[in-house]
Amino acid sequence: MISVTEARTYDEGIAWDRYVLNHAMASGYQLMGWRRVMERAFGHRTFYLMAWDQHEVRGVLPLVFLSSRLFGRFLVSMPFVNYGGVLTDSLEAQRALLEAAAGRATDLGATHIELRHQRPLDLDWAAKQHKVSMRLDLPNEFEALWKSFPSKLRSQIRRAQKEELTVRIEGNEILDDFYRVFARNMRDLGTPVYGRGFFEAIIEAFPKDARLCVISLKQQPVAAGFVYGFQNTLEIPWASADRRYNRLSANMLLYSSVLEYACREGFQVFDFGRSTPGGGTYRFKEQWGAYPIPLYWNHWSADGRAVPDLSPENSKYSLAIKTWKRLPVALTRLLGPSIVRNIP
């Protein structure tokens, strides 16, 4: 008989992480440390549901509650990142967790739930397949990967190397440099930027798994990426380049550097993050040899209607995006975090 409770104690947190770490289909975003990140960086309420069979954990479902007048009230697993969702041993545990999630949404007055999965699940929730994860299998040595790159790609990386750019892969020591590039790039894209504290909270929660890579011209950071490792996979969920320095090909050196780091650290897969099939970022990642893995975003809604589209592709946000692109970077860094905290 499966029962569902909410993880509240230290011992339950330990049991939760033990279950995730031993599950073949787990994502790093399902670890308990991300609960601390969401609560500390955004102040969101979280509901970490556990399915039990007597004293054995049979499944987990992390949920984050987002609530605002502008974007509505809903639960997501997990917001701001690529993966999350329900993780179980059985259909019975899965059904119990999803029923509990729907009940919690009803109690909160939430209009819908969104679960981000890496594989199709046997459930009657609506599924959306609009994104793919671009992944690259890694050899043991970077030299072998280098030889597999197209000649045009290798020449672009060499061009950056000739510009005497420096590469640093560290932690909090280079967070300010990373954030400077990231905030400017988000402004250029017309997207509200996360607060610096979001990335600081991730590094604090996962000091061995999270790293920053910064490419600099003398003392000026010109490209930067945030990488997060889990099991045999290294992911780069956030990467940016300063468009004023596009001629340097710093972005190519950034990806080459993190791929070399991934090989050196013994990772077997590099995850370039999610893309829209056929889009610009899809083609950029494809040139490195990455292949698409379909993603499945499942939705439950209180009234059975389709969930709202809060993505930048929604035409209703086009004017806001154009306006945001014209704002000073300093102003977007001030206003952005309070807006984006409610956009999953």
Question: Strands, E, within the chain: which ranges?
Answer: 2-6, 45-53, 56-68, 72-77, 87-88, 112-117, 126-128, 132-137, 166-170, 210-217, 220-230, 233-241, 269-275, 291-294, 296-301
Q: Find tokens 């945001």 and name the residue.
A: 324
Q: How confident is the model at residue 312 (pLDDT cuts 50, 70, 90)?
A: confident
Check pLDDT > 80 for residue 314: no
- pLDDT exceeds 80 at position 171: yes
Q: What is the pLDDT of residue 38?
A: 98
- Residue 183: name the closest of 331, 285, 320, 318 by CA: 331
- Reading the block at residue 153, the tokens are 């790609």
By CB atoms closer than 10 A (0-12, 13-18, 19+), residue 146 is middle
Chain center to CA of 2: 31
Q: Is the dihedral of CA 115, 121, 127, 130 positive or negative?
A: positive
176: exposed, middle or buried (Cβ count in 10 Å: 0-12, 13-18, 19+)? exposed
pLDDT tens by residue, 217-270: 999 999 999 999 999 999 999 999 999 999 999 999 999 999 999 999 999 999
Q: What is the pLDDT at residue 84?
A: 96
| Side-chain half-sphere CA neighbours of 191 within 13 A | 20
The verdict on whether omega for the bond into residue 78 sits within 30 degrees of 0, i.e. cis, is yes
Confidence of residue 289 (pLDDT cuts 50, 70, 90): very high
Q: Calculate the dihedral angle through the C-alpha atoms of 187, 193, 199, 202, rounding to the nearest 10 degrees.
A: -140
Looking only at the bridges linking them, the beta strands covering 296-301 and 166-170 are: unpaired
Do residues 121 and 94 lie in contact, with contact meaning Cβ atoms separated by under 8 Å?
yes
**Can you give 295-308 as a three-state secondary structure string?**
CEEEEEECCCCCCC
- pLDDT tens for 65-111 read 999 988 999 999 999 999 999 999 999 999 999 999 999 999 999 99
The string of pLDDT tens digits covering residues 4-59 is 999 999 999 999 999 999 999 999 999 999 999 999 999 999 999 999 998 899 99
pLDDT in tens, 202-213: 999 999 999 999
> Average per-residue pLDDT in the chain?
95
CA atoms of 238 and 252, how far apart (whole Å): 15
Distance CA 332, CA 325 (A): 9
Give the model's confidence band at 164: pLDDT under 50 very low, under 70 low, under 90 confident, else very high. confident
Please report the domains of the chain, with CATH numbers, ordered by start residue: 2-129+296-308 (3.40.630.30), 133-294 (3.40.630.30)
